[in-house]
Chains A and B, each alone.
Chain A
Amino acid sequence: DAGVIQSPRHEVTEMGQEVTLRCKPISGHNSLFWYRQTMMRGLELLIYFNNNVPIDDSGMPEDRFSAKMPNASFSTLKIQPSEPRDSAVYFCASTGGSVYNSPLHFGNGTRLTVT
């Protein structure tokens, strides 16, 4: 089991550029979450997919953020245009079985720096 795989590990970009973060969940997991971690706000849930369908995107901060899950093994989080305040660590997490009592499996995150 390779775990949740995120790429890239680090991304440095200039304000206004498009950024795409990628996630491969654990095989067989049917729920996928995108979180953002900052010192100021801690862990924030951005969006939740179940069976590749977005269930709740109320945490997506602005229209500049979008997420897709075209199939069970791949998801992307896109920021266009990026701004310095988007700088954070972005985590993808997946879980199988019941989403209520099953633990989340996190990737190692993408550290995004927008200058």
Chain B
Amino acid sequence: DIVMTQTPLSSPVTLGQPASISCRSSQSLVHSDGNTYLSWLQQRPGQPPRLLIYRISNRFSGVPDRFSGSGAGTDFTLKISRVEAEDVGVYYCMQGTLFPLITFGQGTRLEIK
């Protein structure tokens, strides 16, 4: 099984400042079709998760452009250019390359300083 490791587990950030979350997989997430199925999810307090980014760097419908994703192979990053109050929550990376065995990272809690 692929293991997804996120760092940090908790990230206190000042409003208006950038934030960055890393996700490392135990093996390459490059699929045999050439795509890399690495997604980022956001879960606000008391809410279900929602998709932010898919295939490393593609923003999902309605996601603000302050969210961006990057990386390749086994190392990936989610960046928020300027943190807003509504960004508080837990962020998960997720791999679908080994579909149907989907795996999530353990989550990173973003909080305001």
Our verdict on whether A and B bind, yes or no, reads: no
Residue numbers of B with Cβ under 8 A of A are none
Interface residues of A (CB under 8 A from B): none
